């Protein structure tokens, strides 16, 4: 039985890695900690996670290829304490965000139980390719590709 997929169309060539990333993110979505993603400028984003009770030493922020991973692990300091009610659990978490190609992490800071992570999305250079169409009468034609960069400069041959 074949599995139905978002990128199952034959028109989507080479998008297998995107489907794998979406699967990884779906497995990592238990809802904790809650977060916001906001646009702070034309090419800037901010992720804010609610990490009340975590200190900076208990949080870890890493970029693994195109994934931004936030991990938190609190120390259990309940030794010798007697709780009549325990509604604030010391629990660990891992939250991952898939970053598009070229997105850079500019910085992160912890403020009043909120972890803020600033991201920058650089503007991609406009690329235009002209592909010469050949004929097969005189044998196999080698395709000729010229790439035009954003400033009008041509490459290829």
pLDDT (tens digit, 9 = 90+) per residue, 135-147?
A: 877 655 565 655 6
Q: Check pLDDT > 80 for residue 74.
A: yes
Number of domains in the chain: 1
Q: What is the mean pLDDT of the chain?
A: 81
Q: Check pLDDT > 80 for residue 21.
A: no
- Cα separation, 119 vs 44, in Å, equals 6
- Cα separation, 33 vs 12, in Å, equals 34
89 CB neighbour count, 10 Å cutoff: 8
Q: Which domain holds residue 115?
A: 33-76+89-123
Cα torsion for 103, 105, 111, 115, to the nearest 10°? 60
The answer to whether residue 101 is domain-embedded is: yes
pTM of the model: 0.64
The answer to whether residue 25 is domain-embedded is: no
* Of 12-16, 64-68, 107-111, the least confident: 12-16
The answer to whether residue 44 is domain-embedded is: yes
- Taking Cα atoms as reference points, which of 88, 48, 56 lies closest to residue 73? 56
pLDDT (tens digit, 9 = 90+) per residue, 100-116?
A: 888 999 999 999 999 99
Average pLDDT over residues 38-61: 94
pLDDT recorded at residue 2: 47
pLDDT recorded at residue 105: 95
CATH number at residue 93: 2.60.40.790
pLDDT recorded at residue 65: 85
Looking at residue 137, the DSSP 8-state letter turns out to be T
- Cα separation, 96 vs 119, in Å, equals 14
pLDDT recorded at residue 125: 81
125 CB neighbour count, 10 Å cutoff: 8
């Amino acid at each position: 039985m074949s599995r139905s997929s978002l990128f199952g169309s034959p028109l989507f060539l080479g998008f297998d890695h995107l489907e794998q990333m979406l699967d990884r993110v779906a497995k990592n979505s238990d809802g904790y900690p809650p977060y916001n993603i906001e646009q702070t400028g034309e090419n800037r984003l901010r992720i804010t996670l609610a990490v009340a009770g975590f200190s900076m030493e208990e949080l870890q922020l890493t970029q693994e290829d195109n994934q931004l991973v936030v991990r938190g692990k609190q120390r259990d300091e309940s030794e010798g304490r007697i709780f009549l009610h325990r509604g604030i659990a010391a629990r660990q978490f891992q939250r991952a965000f898939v970053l598009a190609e070229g997105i850079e992490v500019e910085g992160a800071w912890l403020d009043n139980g909120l972890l803020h992570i600033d991201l920058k999305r650089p503007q991609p250079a406009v690329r235009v390719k002209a592909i010469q169409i050949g004929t097969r009468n005189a044998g196999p034609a080698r395709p000729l590709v010229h790439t035009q960069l954003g400033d009008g400069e041509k490459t290829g041959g």
